[in-house]
Amino acid sequence: PENAWVTPCELFKPYYGYMISNFIANQMENLRLKKLKVLEIGPGTGTFADSMLDFFKNYNLDIYRECELYLVEISP
């Protein structure tokens, strides 16, 4: 649409989400964290969440199984 907002998540799908997810996985390992809770404000169509979950499902199944994802969206 004419007034569409395009974010890096959408432009570089899935690699942008993969990069951030890989960073999160590395930080969790360094800090010895077991459970991930994510709050995404303004997820739009869910592009980032989709890429993040895809990354964890394919590359770190332990995080994928324990992850809690919360999306807050005010748009219809």
Q: What is the pLDDT of residues 12-42, one digit of tens each?
A: 999 999 999 999 999 999 999 999 999 999 9
| 2 pLDDT above the threshold of 80 | no
Residue pair 62/71 in contact by the 8 Å Cβ criterion: no
| 1 pLDDT above the threshold of 70 | no
| 66 pLDDT above the threshold of 90 | yes
| Residue 26 backbone phi and psi in degrees, to 5 | -65, -40
Of 71, 16, 7, 65, give the one whose Cα is nearest residue 38. Answer: 71
> What is the share, in percent, of the chain residues with pLDDT greater than 90?
83
DSSP E strand boundaries for 1-76: 37-41, 68-72
